[in-house]
Chain A
Amino acid sequence: DTEVTQTPKHLVMGMTNKKSLKCEQHMGHRAMYWYKQKAKKPPELMFVYSYEKLSINESVPSRFSPECPNSSLLNLHLHALQPEDSALYLCASSQVDGREQYFGPGTRLTVT
Chain B
Amino acid sequence: QQPVQSPQAVILREGEDAVINCSSSKALYSVHWYRQKHGEAPVFLMILLKGGEQKGHEKISASFNEKKQQSSLYLTASQLSYSGTYFCGTERDTDKLIFGTGTRLQVFP
Whether B18 sits at the interface, judged by CB under 8 Å, is no
Q: Encode contact with A along B77-102: 1 for CB under 8 Å, 0 otherwise.
A: 00000000001000100111111111
CB pair A97–B47 under 8 Å, yes or no, is no
List chain A residues, Cβ under 8 A from B44: 100-102
Tell me how many residues of B have a C-beta within 8 Å of chain A: 21
Complex-state Cα separation, A45 to B99, whole angstroms? 9
Please name all residues of chain A whose beta carbon is closer than 8 Å to the beta carbon of B99 when the two chains form the complex: 42-44
Answer whether residue B51 sits at the interface, using C-beta atoms and an 8 A cutoff: no
- Does B32 lie within 8 Å of A48, measured CB to CB? no
Query: Does A90 touch B at the CB level, under 8 Å?
Result: yes
Q: Give a binary string over A10-25; 1 marks a CB under 8 Å from any B CB, 0 the rest.
A: 0000000000000000
Measured between beta carbons, the chain B residues less than 8 angstroms from A44 are 99
Return 12 A-B CB contacts under 8 Å, by A number. Answer: A31-B95, A43-B87, A55-B95, A56-B95, A96-B94, A96-B95, A97-B94, A98-B95, A101-B44, A101-B97, A103-B42, A105-B40
